[in-house]
Every structure is written in structure tokens, then in C-alpha cells.
Amino acid sequence: MNQEQSSRPLEVACPQCHAKVLWIEENLYRPFCSKRCKLLDLGAWADESHRIAGESAMDETDIDEMILRAERGQQE
């Protein structure tokens, strides 16, 4: 038995906030540290199209809406 291997999961840096993220099955949002960071990263390109309408960066309400939408999408 090699217990050392299983007790030391791979560690990566969140692409969004650079926090340390353990690459484990429980972390559904890897390589991001959280759903919020994952959606913020997705929001980066969504923001591009929003800018055409002259809007500034997305606010908290937009993020909450994205999270709700993502949660529905992940039910399948």
C-alpha cells in the first residue's frame, strides 16, 4: 500500500484568484477554487459582448444569475 500518494493530492493554482486548489474529485470546479471563480472566468468572455452595449464589468447580480443558470445546467 502506498498511502503517501493518496494523502497528497495534486495542488494547482486557481486561474482566477490564484488560490491553492486541491485537485480532488470533491472539487467540482477544479482547476478553479470555487464555482464563483469558474463563473467569473466564464464571465470574462461574456463581458466582451456586453461591452458592445457600453456596459461596464458585471456586478454581483449578474454573477448570482450565472450561478443559478449553471446550477440548473448541472442537474442533468
Binding-site residue set for Zn(2+):
14, 17, 33, 37
31 in Cβ contact with 12 (< 8 Å): yes
17 makes contact with Zn ion (CB under 5 A): yes
Distance CA 9, CA 21 (A): 10
Is the CB of 17 or the CB of 63 nearer to Zn ion?
17
| 57 Cβ contact partners less than 8 Å away, ≥ 6 residues apart | 47
33 makes contact with Zn ion (CB under 5 A): yes
40 makes contact with Zn ion (CB under 5 A): no
Region binding Zn ion by CB under 5 A among candidate stretches 5-13, 26-34, 46-54, 63-71: 26-34
| 8 Cβ contact partners less than 8 Å away, ≥ 6 residues apart | none
Which residue ranges make up the site for Zn ion (CB under 5 A)? 14, 16-17, 19, 33, 37
